[in-house]
Structure 1
Amino acid sequence: MSELSIFSYLPADDPEVLEQLQDRIELVRHKLKFVELVPTVACISSLSPLKLAGGLVPELIRLAGGTPVELEDLAAADPQYIIVALEGSPLNTAMSEVETLMALPGWESLDAVKNGRIYLADGEGHFSDSPAGIVETIEMIGEILNPKQFAFGYEGEGWIKFGV
């Protein structure tokens, strides 16, 4: 999937809204020109069974400055960041599934766990194919991966950092 396919999800029928959404994506892209680190990111959409987010999400991770992990064996992939955005579920559902998350095979040895880079996110309002959801997800992931460059204000409502 390419960036062009992301733009096909944006509302072409309203040029003003389309321009605003494209400008927000361009702001993220511009700021990322000054970031050298492109970390690996596993975005979990289901815990039982473990499933990584598909569809547009890997491309959204790329646009936000990460490299999406596509191998569902987290121990083998050893991602630097883990975002848990359970498909169609609000943030509090992800919070209630923490025990399942911590019981995953090899959990404690993962780079993301050892370095405290586990994030729980709203998989209902974000991480969706809606035009606003696409742009907000890019901004949220950017905020998670590069907090010094981005402060969009999603922390606390759209995502939280999970501490072990």
Structure 2
Amino acid sequence: MNREMLDLTYYSAIAEDLQQHNPEAYEILDEEIHIILHKLKFIPQESRPVTQVIPLGASLPGDYLQELLLVAGAQHNEYAVALDDVELLIFIDETNSYLSTLPAQLQETFANCKAVKNNKIFIIQKANFAQDRKDYLQDIEILAEIIQSKYFIFGHEGEYWVKFDIG
């Protein structure tokens, strides 16, 4: 196992469970994660976007979400990043109830954010996003399509996430 895989706590636990209970699912997960990580090793950390995920309902488990973001190609930030430096804003809104109030919030709270200035705002609409470990791979695919759109297309756009255009 390569070094990147050793740092993935949740992947390791999920993979170990699948190896014991569902070897076929383990093979799929392992192969797909390795493909994603292999593509990402050619993108230096400083070239990866600073990404902020904002849940609009239930709070998300922070360390689990951070692992998903790292595997999907976001920049690893050991320290808090100023909101103005965020290059991608991702809102989690399963009910689509937030779309009507989002423009006002963007202007009030995020007006100086690089993501807003560069129209890099996305909304994930998948139920239970980043809350069910059985969806680990699918949640990474969703994030990878958003964060590293030049390198990953899994067909989730329009079904589980959309780009929000400021106009």
TM-score (norm: length of structure 2) = 0.78
Q: Does 1:128 align with 2:136?
A: no
SS across alignment from 1:119? strand
Aligned to 1:23: 31
| Count of paired positions | 155
Matched with 1:45 is 55
1:24-74: CA deviation from partner (whole Å, max 9, x where unpaired)? 1111111112223211110111379xx776241111101111126674973
| Alpha-carbon distance in structure 2 between the residues aligned to 1:142 and 1:55 | 17
Identity of aligned residues (%): 28
How many Å separate the matches in 1 of 2:65 and 2:154? 19
Match of 1:74 in 2: 83
- For the 8 Å contact 1:85–1:127, the answer to whether it is kept is no
Structure 1 residue aligned with 2:65 = 57
User: Could you tell me whether the CA contact under 8 Å between 1:45 and 1:53 is conserved in 2?
Assistant: no
The residue aligned with 2:3 is none
Residue 120 of structure 1 contacts residue 160 of structure 1 at CA under 8 Å; is this kept in 2? yes
Higher strand share: 1
Query: d(CA) in 1 for partners of 2:87 and 2:28?
Result: 31
Q: Please give the alpha-carbon distance, in whole angstroms, between the structure 1 residues aligned to 2:99 and 2:70.
A: 25
Give the structure with the higher percent helix.
2
Report the TM-score, using the length of structure 1 for normalisation: 0.79
Structural RMSD (CA): 2.8
Pairing partner for 2:139 from 117, 137, 140: 137
Structure 2: segments with no counterpart, 5+ residues: 1-6
Letter in structure 1 aligned against 2:141: E
1:102 aligns with 2:106: yes
2:118 paired with 1:149: no
Q: Which runs of 5+ in 1 are unaligned?
A: none
The 1:111–1:145 alpha-carbon spacing in structure 2 relative to 1, beyond 3 Å, is: same
Contact kept? 1:79, 1:111, Cα under 8 Å: yes
